[in-house]
Amino acid sequence: MATTDTTEVILDAAQELVQLRGFNAFSYRDIANRIGIRTASIHYHFPKKDDLARTLIRRYHARFLDALRQIGRGNPRPQTRLTEYMALFFSLSSQGDRLCLFAVFSADLTSLSEEVRQEIRAFYDTNVDWLRLILEEGQRTGAFAFSGSSEEMARGIFALLEGEILVTRAFSSTSRDTSVLPVVRSLLNWQDDRPARGDTPDPDKMEQTHSAQSHSSHV
């Protein structure tokens, strides 16, 4: 098996274990048994578990950015983009009892290195920034008529989505795809009949900003 293929297989198995059990609840032995390789092979690719954590979060973050780029291509209205954004979180329900990687690592935050924490914060910032820009566009175009800070509202919506995933997993809810939307619609005073205009948030620019922040804090 090629090095790149082996790395991806390890990361896939590790991500599943993290999302199902938590980062501190499995070992390299668990990964090795899952994919049929030696633990020495895992240590070759990821000498420390901290290295594995950083790579997992970066990959998850990159894939999430890819998903953000697809949002609103067919319909750029802020309401549509926000609905599609929330669907990214609810899609986890089709993967069994998996949680968002951000939520799992956040729960283990005190046991993680500062480097890993920086990666977690970068993912959080990406989401809040994207939401804030969508909310501000919605305010400008009349799609949303909420009062108060768009930054605070963005943080609140992200927290609501992450919390919903945890709650629905605990209670085996069958309405994961619908329960949060009415709440968000109410919070934003969501206007259904307003066409949206304006610029779509650019994940590429956001990625460059967070990359620069991450490097400046580590170098």
Task: Give the chain's domains with CATH numbers.
Answer: 1-47 (1.10.10.60), 57-218 (1.10.357.10)
Q: What is the widest separation between alpha-carbon atoms in the chain?
A: 59
Answering whether pTM is above 0.85, one says no
With cut-offs at 50, 70 and 90, classify the pLDDT of residue 170.
confident
Does residue 177 register a pLDDT over 60?
Answer: no
Q: Is 181 exposed, middle or buried (0-12, 13-18, 19+ CB in 10 A)?
A: middle
How is residue 199 written in tokens? 């610029």
Q: What is the mean pLDDT of residues 141-164?
A: 95
How is residue 122 written in tokens? 């970068």
- Specify the amino acid at residue 130: W
Q: How far apart are CA 126 and CA 49, in angstroms?
A: 25
Residue 211, pLDDT score:
41
**Backbone phi and psi for residue 144, each to the nearest 5 degrees, phi listed first:** -125, 140
H-helix or E-strand spanning residue 41: helix 39-45
Tell me: the pLDDT tens digits for 127-137? 999 999 999 99
H-helix or E-strand spanning residue 116: helix 114-141
Q: Using CA atoms of 202, 207, 209, 213 in order, give the dihedral in degrees to the nearest 10.
A: 160
How is residue 210 written in tokens? 């967070």
